[in-house]
Structure 1
Amino acid sequence: MDSFNFQKTIAIISVFILFLLIIFLLTADSNKKLSNRLFAGYLILTAVDASGAFISNTIISIHTSIEVFRWTMILLNIPLFYVYVLSLCYEDFQLKTKYLLHCIPFVVLNLILVFRIYSNEFDKRFFFRHHSETAEMIIFQIMIEVQYFLYVIMIISLLKKYKKIYLENNSFSTNSVYKWLFQITIVFAIVHYFGTFKNILRYTDYHQLLIFVNGFLEIIALIAISWFVLQSLKYSEFFKGITSEVELVKGFTKTHIPKTLIQEEKNNHSIINFQVEMLKKYMIEKKPYLDPSLSLQNLASQINMPARELSILVNSNMNMRFFDFVNQYRIENAMELLQNHSKSDLTALEILYKVGFNSKSSFNTAFKKHTSLTPSEYRKTYSKIY
């Protein structure tokens, strides 16, 4: 099998796998239907782009304008992926007209192409022999790279903001969520920049290297797609978003909310201290931290305090993320259980669930941060002392 047929075979397999995942996303019963549809749209665009490896030259010569239009659809890929990430991060996400602005590069490029390449008078055979040297295609390549770079930065910034807000308002770890979204962004970026390297080689005399890189890129794409299918199935129902109204505490304490009791009396430490003591007393007596899904909104409702006021109290006045604030009570409870000889039959796994954790890794990380010891080391150390 020559290299061209090998690339065609790999591309066909990749597109087939993509369409299986697209069917799954469109038919799966999920509370994230809009997100699934957005991602299915992204995968359709990816499949259309990958199909270029096995579209015959005969079809291209007959439908030249359609083939060029297919190329330009790549400019819709990363914007659609960005909107998909938005839909996963924000549980109240809705499609809005403003998202059509992301289509501007695609529309602008096609308007440029209308006047020459889409024109019937244009020598399309000459274009396909020398397309990489035309001004339109050079502009196209620059637009792709600038767009991709900017969107990757936007996605990473969005994920960092999402993680910070989530930890300020929830008591359970988001490591898996953040890891999932961050990983797929990086994987897609790696595949994209392999493609960029391949396109640069078109302008050099390294033709053998170009053939090798073409084949290697198809294999990398197939591996990435297969990995992504497995990850999609693994995390299909894992996500819990934040509402778009929720902001970082450092943002809304300055400008975005009306003055609360805390802000009006910010110089009166006795009021802040009273609220802090009231909150600590409630945490000790009522033990709301035993609920693994405890959120700032839940706790605010329980103590009859506005959620934003509680957020300022914990995140600003106590200088702790809500995630860390709740976990300190869980860890102190776990320490008591580990010290209690009558509870020595309890394993660390049983204890972590008992005190409100839902992940072994987040329990071990929080415990070591709080005590500088692992749970098993703490139990051994305490048993030696007593």
Structure 2
Amino acid sequence: MDKMDLLGIVTVISLFVSFFLAFFLLTVKTEHKISNRLFAFFLIITSVDISEPLISQITDGPSNLGMLRTLLAFLQIPAFYLYVLSVCYSDFQWKPKYLIHLLPFFIGNLVLVPRFYSVDLASKLDFIINRQDMIELQLTHWLFHLQVLVYFTAVFLLLKKVKKLYLENNSGGDLNSYNWLFQFTSVLTALYLIVILKNIFKFSDYPYVSDWIKIGILVMQLFIICWYLYKALNNPGLFRNIDSKLTLVADLILQEKKIEPEILNEDLLK
């Protein structure tokens, strides 16, 4: 069995588990429908991303759909962020302002229009062969790295705040929901740091190292997806939300300190 056959088997298993879990999340009866749909969307986008070993065996060369599939990675982290937000806050609702999270995806596609999407197959092939010199690909990779940094920082700050809110408003009750999200975020952070390392080698003088790291990432994703399934099936009541309108005690104290001088000033003016 050669390397491509092994990757194909790993990819097929990963896709099966991912779509099975996505189907489970979309059909299970629960109060947390938005959270489940966001997690299912995250799994589907991730599945499309990891399907590359299979697609490469049935396509003859680079294509617009192939590049679009690659850039769908820009939707994974925003979907994950919104999922965490929806699990943390029981009153989470979809809002039009969340469409701003699509901006990196559109920017990444837009810069590739002149020299990839709008050219013939031979030009596409030349573009991919000389990817180390293509400013558009370098830009999309740096934009992706920036997205990883910004979103994961935002998620960890959100979890820190939510943990305090939970402890203050639930008397130190069960933290299963927080623990799951923290574990989920930590695992994904480690995975994306490895992805960034892979991308660095991709544009270095050692591109073959990037290929080996890519194989490791595919194997890691299989175990991570199986872990998702284990968590979902063994902890059906895992998610416990809090109201986003709740305020930290420290913030309430600051608000009271600001209000007191205003009340004193009003009394003096009377």
Give TM-score scaled by structure 1 length: 0.63
1:8 corresponding residue in structure 2 = 8
Match of 2:103 in 1: 104
The equivalent of 1:92 in structure 2 is: 91
Task: Give distance in 1, aligned partners of 2:82 and 2:227.
Answer: 22
The question of 1:81 aligning with 2:69 is answered no
User: Counterpart in 2 of 1:238?
Assistant: 238
CA distance in 2, matches of 1:253, 1:141: 44
Distance 1:98 1:257 in 2: 33
In 1, the alpha carbon distance for the partners of 2:247 and 2:13 equals: 44
Whether the aligned pair in 1 keeps the contact of 2:166 and 2:242 (CA below 8 Å) is: yes
Separation of aligned partners in 2, 1:132 and 1:208:
13
The aligned counterpart of 2:117 is: 118
RMSD: 2.5
- Name the CA shift for 1:22/1:156 in 2 (closer, same or farther; >3 Å): same
Alpha-carbon deviation of 1:71? 1.1
For 1:254, what is the secondary structure of its paired residue?
Answer: helix
**Partner secondary structure for residue 255 of structure 1:** helix
Aligned residues with identical type, % of pairs? 35
Q: Deviations over 1:230-260 (max 9, x none)?
A: 1122333222211111111222333389969
Equivalent residues of 2:166, 2:172 under 8 A apart: no
| Contact kept? 2:198, 2:213, Cα under 8 Å | yes
Deviations 1:294-326 (A, max 9, x none): xxxxxxxxxxxxxxxxxxxxxxxxxxxxxxxxx
Q: Aligned AA for 2:34?
A: L
- How many residue pairs were aligned? 262
- Asked whether the equivalents of residues 201 and 210 of structure 1 are also in contact (C-alpha less than 8 Å), the reply is yes
CA distance 1:121–1:99, shift in 2 (3 Å): same
Partners of 1:227 and 1:80 in 2: CA distance: 19
CA-CA distance at 1:109 after TM superposition: 1.7
Instruction: Give 1:95 shift.
Output: 0.3
In the aligned structure 2, how far is the partner of 1:258 from the partner of 1:196? 45
The whole-number CA distance in structure 1 between the counterparts of 2:81 and 2:207 is: 35
CA contact (8 A) 1:90 1:243 kept: yes
**Could you tell me how far 1:264 is from its partner in structure 2?**
7.5
**DSSP-derived class of the 2:173 partner:** coil
1:17/1:226 contact within 8 Å kept? yes
Describe the shift of the 1:138–1:44 C-alpha distance in structure 2 as closer, same or farther (beyond 3 A): same
Q: CA 1:100–1:200 in 2, change beyond 3 Å: closer, same or farther? A: same
Instruction: Flag the structure with higher helix content.
Output: 2
Q: Residue 172 and residue 219 in structure 1: after superposition, are their counterparts in 2 closer, same or farther (change >3 A)?
A: same
Could you tell me how far apart the structure 1 residues matched to 2:55 and 2:112 are?
21
**Change over 3 Å in CA distance of 1:242–1:208 after alignment to 2:** same
Describe the SS at the equivalent of 1:140.
helix
Distance 1:29 1:256, change over 3 A: farther
Distance, in Å, in 1 between the alignment partners of 2:93 and 2:256 is 22
Query: Counterpart of 1:53?
Result: 53
Q: Who is 2:137 aligned against? A: 137
Deviation of the 1:161 alpha carbon? 0.4
AA paired with 1:97?
P
Partners in 2 of 1:127 and 1:244 — Cα distance? 47
What letter corresponds to residue 136 of structure 1 in structure 2?
A: E
Q: CA deviation at 1:54?
A: 1.3
| Structure 1 CA distance for aligned equivalents of residues 81 and 244 of structure 2 | 15
Determine the C-alpha separation between the residues in 2 that align with 1:54 and 1:17: 16
Q: Work out whether residues 166 and 174 of structure 1, in 8 Å CA contact, stay in contact via their aligned partners in 2.
A: no
Q: SS of the residue aligned with 1:46? A: helix
Q: Unpaired runs of 5+ in structure 1?
A: 266-386
| CA positional deviation for 1:227 | 1.3
Quote how far apart the aligned CAs of 1:133 are. Answer: 3.3
Tell me the TM-score normalised to structure 2 length.
Answer: 0.88
**Residue type at the aligned position of 1:110:** N
Gaps of 5+ in 2: 265-270
CA distance in 2, matches of 1:53, 1:257: 60
Q: Which has the larger radius of gyration?
A: 1
**2:149 aligned residue:** 149
